[in-house]
Amino acid sequence: MRRISAWVGWALCLCTYLAASAQDYPEEDEMILDLFSEDGTKPEPRAVPTAEFLKCNKAAWRVHGQYLVVLRQGTHGSHVQRTIRRLRAKAARRGQLLEILHTYSAALQGFMVKMSSDVLHLALKLPQVHYIEEDSSIFAQSAPWNLQRLLQPHGGSSENGTYRPPNDGGMALVYLLDGSVQSSHREIEGRVLITDFNSVPEEDGVRVHRQASQCDSHGTHIAGVVSGSDSGVARGAGVNLVRVLNCQGKGTVSGALAGLEYIQSTLLARPVDAVVVLLPFSGGFSRSLNAACRDMVAKGAVVIAAAGNYRDDACLYSPASEPEVITVGAVNSVDQLMSQGAGGTNFGRCIDLFAPGDDIVSASSDCSTCFTSQSGTSQAAAHAAGIAAVILSSNQNVSPVQVMQMMLHYSISHTINFLSLPDSHRLISPNLVAAMPPANSANEELLCRSVWSKRSGVTSSDQAVSRCRLGEEMMSCSSYTPDGVHAGETISESSGQMECVAFNALGGKGVYAVARCCVIGGLQCQVHASPECVATQYHLTGCTLWSAAGISADSRPNGSDRRRCVVSSGATSHAVCCHAPSLECHLLEKISADKDQVEVSCPSGWTLTDCSAVSPGSVVLAPVAKGNSCHVGSASGAGGAAGVAVCCRVRQPEQRRASPPP
């Protein structure tokens, strides 16, 4: 009897303990009670899915012991706090401590935590965790002072009297994520607001000189390029500093994420019509940082990033690799790629355009009236931010993608020598140098750009995919290989977004997918399963062609029936049909019997939407759109080539319906 009473007493104590524990840690109820089944035996352990763990692709830039825990989509703030409590409880039972550095609730639901690697595997098994990304460093993209001193040519002064942009950018607000800024400098005094946000790591080393002139150097120079009274691009634009870099020009992905959240919360409280977010730094590829930038664009901000100064593929870095961001490389005074000793501007398909970034004179933090010269893709991005502020001040209703398209449209093309680049990047790097739009520029023009995929693998089943940005319509899709060997292309839909898919062929060396992405008010494009546009209000703007056996020429619009595509025997062709108010399209053909290169250009006021080729006999042709021209070359080097260009425009009220372009 005593034994039974003792057992009952022990059970009551256990229940009381569990009830108290459940009150203290309600999220642990299931875990504790699962230790016992109904018959008192210990159940079999359940398999717990493990979240994905991500590391920076640059090992030297990883911030060890600091992790960004991102929860699954659909979670909210209470899930974040519950996950934090659960992780604390698990760590405490193992004698481990952790420190929550920041919580995120805008683009991402999650938190930044400092913890040991022993606790990391526990966090990966928490039920609401989608992935964990190790924090990593980001860097200001200006040349170091010693390299700068070696590379700096003879300085020059800007011709202030002749710089007259269409407007001063005064209707736009630029958020600058950088280090400190000397706001009392005469170049930017009254133009820069130092916000109360500050999220920077401690400086490396024990002997750090924190003189104001060193801490403010990068940020002051960049602010001067954006809106300085003598050296600025948009001299009326306001600049709000969000500090994410320390005195060494170094920050973290977590700090940049917190800075972007701060901007979002500020704009939510005090909305602004025209916002530019300038990110003059670069770090290793980060899914989290890219997602936060993408979210900023979706909320209406124009986000501009430095490409990076590593003479490398910009797609390996963040935020430069995010497709929704305007990524800017740097050129020197003669429109050639900026070089910095062993480094230099990044390049590749993730670049949108280049801008002046070498030997740029702007405000110096040495004194309130000093100037200095700095170089880097940070300076190039600052030029693009100034241009964006001017565009937005002309029309605050334009979307981020329209701003980007206007910047590309008014850029200077084909002036950069890409011979120094690897062969795989010469074709896909945009040969565009930023320029200020004219005063009478309008956003009522049809604007298009080519979006290249990365090159596919070399097996016959490999594919390449290219996508347009939010707000763009895909007016054509093509595939490209230097040797002309591919199986064609098609347009498919994924998660509500059109995708241009190119197929490698047997014996092919890899294929690129090239989407022609365009913007204009009211533009709507459809892909027909047949090679014909049926609805009369829709125009044929492109043709796709696919064949399992491989093809030697592109499908193209029919010269006699411009609503149909020419289809090779045994191949499948789809018509891309587009409609917009007052849209009109025409076909241009150019044939050469003896030359292996042909260029077909759309006339002024018309925009290229599709580039294809006519194959003379067995000659393999490789058509590619470059700017507003269709270039066709013979991949085999044999004579004879023919190019076909579809040129479209939106007719303005004062324009009469035109006959076909000459």
List, by residue number, the catalytic residues: 178, 218, 378
∠ CA 495-497-502, rounded to 5°: 105
Query: Is residue 133 within 8 Å of 113, Cβ to Cβ?
Result: no
Using CA atoms, how far apart are residues 366 and 154, in angstroms rounded to an integer? 19
Tell me whether residue 450 is exposed, middle or buried, using C-beta atoms within 10 angstroms of its C-beta: 0 to 12, 13 to 18, 19 or more. buried
Q: How many CB atoms lie within 10 A of CB 564?
A: 17
- Left, alpha or beta for 187 (phi > 0: left; psi -120 to 50: alpha)? alpha
Is the bond preceding residue 319 a cis peptide, omega within 30 degrees? yes
Six-digit token string for 181: 């800024």
**Which residues 6+ apart lie within 8 Å of 513 measured at CB?**
452, 453, 463, 464, 465, 466, 477, 478, 479, 489, 500, 501, 502
**Block residue for tokens 């693998």:** 457
Query: Is residue 269 within 8 Å of 244, Cβ to Cβ?
Result: no
Tell me the three state secondary structure of residue 42: coil
End-to-end CA distance of the chain: 109
Six-digit token string for 536: 């009369």
CA atoms within 13 A on the CB side of 338: 38
Q: Which residues does residue 41 pair with via DSSP β-bridges, in sequence order?
A: none
**Which residues 6+ apart lie within 8 Å of 572 measured at CB?**
490, 545, 546, 547
Residue type, 528: H
C-alpha separations of 90 from 35, 84, 87, 118, 123 in Å: 15, 10, 5, 11, 9
Q: How many CB atoms lie within 10 A of CB 58?
A: 15
Closest alpha carbon to 562 in 583, 582, 542: 542
Chain centre distance of CA 599: 31
